[in-house]
Amino acid sequence: MQLRLITVGQKMPGWVEQGYKEYARRFPRDFALELVEVPAVKRGKNADIVRLTDKEGEAMLSHISSGDWVIALDVKGKQYSTSQLASQIEHWQLNHPNVVLLVGGPEGLAPACLQRANQKISLSNLTFPHPLVRVLIAEALYRAWSVTVNHPYHRE
């Protein structure tokens, strides 16, 4: 299964890159997590946020194929426990060979990305800074995957 995380923003702080890489490297080859970064559009004092978010959304969508199963990380999405996410992973492995997760920029995902999504997932009712989300989702996916293979990483 191909698993891609498409995020807005490049040149993340060292702690973000280190945290993401720590979990991404743990995945096995047949369940590798690939990171695709699209540039954040520069925000000025009087920026047209809707236009900027739409432009970022277009860049994200350009990395998605028609057969990809797309999951938007959105505060209004469904929340999953680790065991529920593990069940989702098993479902994706059986039914969707290419899974793409979308993480928006400071203002969230563009409406076009939310429309394209086959699923919407929320990590929490809390709002997190978008750089932190890439670390959180990498760890959550790794933990859920570890449940599916009885790896000792996850202990209940």
What is the CATH classification number for the domain harbouring 136? 3.40.1280.10
**Can you give the pTM of this predicted structure?**
0.90
Number of domains composing the chain = 1
Is residue 77 part of an annotated ligand binding site?
A: no
Is residue 31 part of an annotated ligand binding site?
A: no
Q: For residue range 66-107, list pLDDT tens digits in order.
A: 999 999 999 899 999 999 999 999 999 999 999 999 999 888
Question: Is 8 within a domain?
Answer: no
Is residue 3 part of an annotated ligand binding site?
A: no
Question: Is 7 within a domain?
Answer: no
**How far is residue 32's CA from residue 6's CA, in Å, rounded to a whole number?**
14
Tokens coding 83: 């065991």
Question: Is 118 within a domain?
Answer: yes
Which residue range(s) make up the domain with 26? 18-38+46-149
**How far is residue 127's CA from residue 74's CA, in Å, rounded to a whole number?**
10
**How far is residue 131's CA from residue 109's CA, in Å, rounded to a whole number?**
14
Q: What is the pLDDT of residue 40?
A: 84
**How far is residue 124's CA from residue 107's CA, in Å, rounded to a whole number?**
16
